[in-house]
């Protein structure tokens, strides 16, 4: 079902993981995708997979000239922007007492400030026409996490910003929602999932579904929120975590 046929979408952080899965799924559903990333090699592997009107843009979301670069790239796509997926971000971090102010600023610059700017651009281009924005937050925006002071702060702010924009621009036909993924197997997390025993015990053994998620599963949730089936949903943060946030408990012996 080509539910995004002819619509133009931007996906940031599109070269790998959740962003890549989202860009490919949007293209498969008929969208004109502008895939944005700073990884030249991985972004190049999307060439030819985004359809005849798909585009890639090599840039960093913290680039001061980002808006101009995006507008120039969109000029070659006939349909106006109607979907924006803000996925670009970084992870990692430590406890509050081992996190410097510069570490916090770096995390916020990438995970929050750049997303803020992208939302400004999206709203500007969608006004008068309507559209949908989906931000990628994190389950850590809602659940306390060890050694994650700066990251959790940045993603909590993303969730709050999502609700605020939904309030301000809903009257103009712009919907904005967010997804809050749990542990997803991406290039950023794959090695840690299989080598860190504590991570497996917490996120797999204590999860109702007993597994980690896949990028395609988050991409499907993103497309739902961006698409017509979610036409009356705005300001929501959808957990995509296999039930981990509501079902954390020790694995019972009889379930082994």
In a domain, 57, yes or no: yes
List, for residues 126-159, the tens digit of each pLDDT value: 999 999 999 999 999 998 888 899 999 999 999 9
* Residue 192: inside a domain: no
Evaluate whether residue 2 is within a structural domain. Answer: no
Mean pLDDT in the chain?
93
Q: What CATH number corresponds to the domain at position 24?
A: 3.40.50.720
Report how many domains make up the chain: 1
Question: In angstroms, rounded to a whole number, what is the distance separating the alpha carbons of residues 26 and 28?
Answer: 5
pLDDT band for 256, please (50, 70, 90 cuts).
Answer: very low
Q: Is residue 137 part of a domain?
A: yes
Active site includes 140? no
Considering the domain boundaries, does residue 154 fall inside one? yes
Catalytic residue among 4, 140, 151, 169: 151
Three-class secondary structure of residue 238 per DSSP: strand
Task: Note down the domain range covering 107.
Answer: 8-184+214-242
Q: What is the pLDDT of residues 60-102, one digit of tens each?
A: 999 999 999 999 999 999 999 999 999 999 998 999 999 999 9
Q: Give per-residue burial for 185-214: e unless 16+ CB within 10 Å, then b.
A: bbeebeeebeeeeeebebbbeebeeeebbe
Q: Model-level pTM?
A: 0.94
Whether 248 is covered by a domain: the verdict is: no
The Cα–Cα gap between 30 and 6 comes to 6
């Amino acid at each position: 079902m080509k539910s995004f046929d002819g619509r133009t979408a931007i996906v940031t952080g599109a070269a790998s993981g959740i962003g890549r899965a989202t860009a490919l799924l949007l293209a498969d559903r008929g969208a004109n995708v502008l895939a944005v990333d700073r990884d030249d090699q991985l972004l190049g592997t999307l060439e030819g997979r985004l359809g005849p009107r798909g585009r890639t843009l090599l840039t960093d979301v913290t680039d001061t000239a980002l808006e101009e670069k995006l507008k120039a790239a969109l000029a070659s796509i006939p349909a106006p922007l109607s979907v924006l997926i803000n996925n670009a971000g970084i992870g990692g971090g430590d406890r509050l007492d081992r996190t410097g102010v510069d570490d916090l600023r770096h995390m916020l610059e990438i995970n929050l400030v750049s997303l803020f700017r992208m939302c400004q651009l999206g709203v500007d281009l969608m006004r008068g026409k309507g559209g949908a924005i989906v931000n990628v937050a994190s389950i850590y925006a809602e659940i306390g996490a060890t050694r994650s002071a700066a990251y959790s702060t940045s993603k909590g702010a993303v969730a709050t910003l999502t609700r605020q924009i939904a309030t301000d621009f809903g009257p103009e036909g712009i919907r904005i929602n967010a997804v809050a993924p749990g542990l997803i197997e991406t290039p950023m997390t794959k090695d840690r999932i299989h080598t860190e025993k504590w991570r497996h015990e917490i996120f797999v053994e204590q999860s109702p579904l007993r597994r980690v998620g896949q990028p395609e599963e988050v991409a499907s949730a993103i497309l739902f929120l961006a698409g017509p089936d979610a036409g009356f949903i705005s300001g929501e943060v959808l957990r995509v975590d296999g039930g981990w946030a509501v079902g954390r408990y020790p694995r019972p012996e009889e379930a082994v």
